[in-house]
Amino acid sequence: MPNHPKNESIHMLDGLFWANDPHPHLTWMRKEAPVFWDEASQLWGISKHEDVQNISKSPKIFGNSDGMRPDSPPLPSMINMDDPEHRQRRALVNKGFTPRRIANHEDKVREICADLVDRALVKVRNEGSCDFVMDVAAPLPMIMIGDMLGVEPEDRDMLLRWSDDMVTGTSFTAPPEVLERAAISFAEFQSFNEKTVADRRSKPEQDDLISILVHGRLNGEGLDAEALLHETLLILVGGDETTRHVITGGMHQLLLHPEQRALLADDPSKIPTAVEEMLRWVTPIKNMARTATEDTVLRGETIRKGEKVMLLYPSANRDEEVFDNPFDFDDTRKPNDHLDFGGYGAHFCLGASLARLEIRVMFEEVLRRAPQLNLVPDAELPWRNSNFITGIEHMPVELA
């Protein structure tokens, strides 16, 4: 039995828990039960920055091989592996994310951002408003990851829909029609992936990520169809969802804090620092699971071998012991030891450099080309109902 007070309002597998501002509950956990047994979800919630970081660095005690999602079996992708299998698979995928390769994308990212912002401004002038999420934030990472996967431009909208449907379908409380859409989208993505893989197999290795995966070898053997499917899915969702939500959430805060927006517009060299605060503030990936490989005691609570722990990144990124005034958005915050991109350790996100590049360049272009954007008064800002990745789904903006 846990040694902490009960709190039946906490249900960490419920997407509504994350969509309806979880921070009052997470603050309670940090103060009253930093290692919290969620009876409804049957897992431990880890809410303190120090503990999330330490567990991320301790794969021998808290492993990934039982799955990074606590409510589904492990899929055959590197995020659900421990070393040495994880290290070998990661080295293969990492060929698409080398520093030189990412740096070479900057001109292309800037061109895409400029075009998206200009098109959004035309829409605002013609129609009175646009949806910053779907017109600006979402297309950028989808174009980039689509191109890196070797996807034809006409297929990008399908990728975006599939990604949205599958992530929304992860919620514990998702209604049947949402689960059905998720299943249909997964089946469509699987069929699409099979055709793409077959095409890459028939050709010499090219520069896109699918070709790299198809022609890669681990211990002399290539990846099978299931592994190729799930590595591609991981790249798609990781490349699309997280960056989109940080761009949206960061813009939302700048619209709420015009003095901070003006500071960045006047001195774009400060934008990289602001990007780190946007990452901390939004924390689009809400949690990852680990499984205890042995009995261990943490802050007076005994975690048994085989039990799941959920690393609560939004809580770690609001930890009062690490961040001054953690509930204030401060685009000059330094240091900023947030735990986005999976915290630290072996599973640090391969796409972190690409995400930072996309977010930085987008705000350089938005602040230069559209400094006069405002939120549409009284517009609803719906949040995604998901227990994994969430953020603002739609954000209407207009000219001041």
Q: Where are the domains of the chain?
A: 15-399
Interatomic CA distance for residues 307 and 73, integer angstroms: 14
Bigger pLDDT: 182 vs 344: 182
Nearest Cα neighbor of 30 from 308, 322, 247, 307 is: 322
What is the structure's pLDDT at 182?
92
What is the structure's pLDDT at 400?
84
Q: Which phi and psi angles does 131 have, rounded to 5°? A: -95, 110
| Residue 392, helix vs strand vs coil | strand
Mean pLDDT across 195-218:
93
Mean pLDDT across 124-134:
98
Count of residues for the chain?
400
Mean pLDDT across 304-329:
98
Domain topology for 15-399: Cytochrome p450 (1.10.630)
Strand order in the sheet with 43-46: 35-38, 43-46, 308-312, 287-292, 62-63
pLDDT of 385 > 70? The answer is: yes
pLDDT-based confidence at residue 76 (cuts at 50, 70, 90): confident
pLDDT-based confidence at residue 172 (cuts at 50, 70, 90): low
Name the least confident of 211-215, 242-246, 384-388: 384-388
Q: Which two tokens stand for residue 364?
A: 């350089």
What is the structure's pLDDT at 66?
94
Q: How many helices (H) and strands (E) does the chain have?
A: 16, 10
Determine what percent of the chain is predicted with pLDDT higher than 70: 99
| Residue 137, helix vs strand vs coil | helix
How many Å from the N-terminal Cα to the C-terminal Cα in the chain? 56
List Cβ neighbours of 239 (8 Å cut-off, separation of 6 or more). 141, 142, 144, 145, 148, 351, 354
Mean pLDDT across 169-197:
89
Contact criterion met (CB below 8 Å) for 318 and 327:
yes
Mean pLDDT across 176-193:
94
Sort strands 287-292 and 62-63 into parallel, antiparallel or unpaired. antiparallel
Bigger pLDDT: 64 vs 175: 64
Contact criterion met (CB below 8 Å) for 32 and 11:
no
Residue 356 is classified by DSSP as H
pLDDT of 351 > 70? The answer is: yes
| Residue 49, helix vs strand vs coil | helix
Q: What is the pTM of this model?
A: 0.95
pLDDT of 344 > 80? The answer is: no
| Residue 389, helix vs strand vs coil | strand
| Residue 301, helix vs strand vs coil | strand
Sort strands 308-312 and 43-46 into parallel, antiparallel or unpaired. parallel
Helices in the chain by DSSP H: which ranges? 15-19, 23-32, 49-56, 85-93, 99-103, 106-127, 132, 139-148, 156-168, 176-201, 209-215, 225-256, 258-266, 271-282, 313-316, 352-369
Q: Which two tokens stand for residue 388?
A: 């994994």
Mean pLDDT across 126-132:
98
pLDDT averaged over every residue in the chain:
94
What is the structure's pLDDT at 339?
97
pLDDT-based confidence at residue 50 (cuts at 50, 70, 90): very high
> pLDDT per residue over 77-122, tens digit each?
999 999 999 999 999 888 888 888 999 999 999 999 999 999 999 9
Interatomic CA distance for residues 16 and 29, integer angstroms: 18
What is the structure's pLDDT at 93?
87
Mean pLDDT across 187-199:
95
Bigger pLDDT: 137 vs 346: 137
Mean pLDDT across 194-201:
94
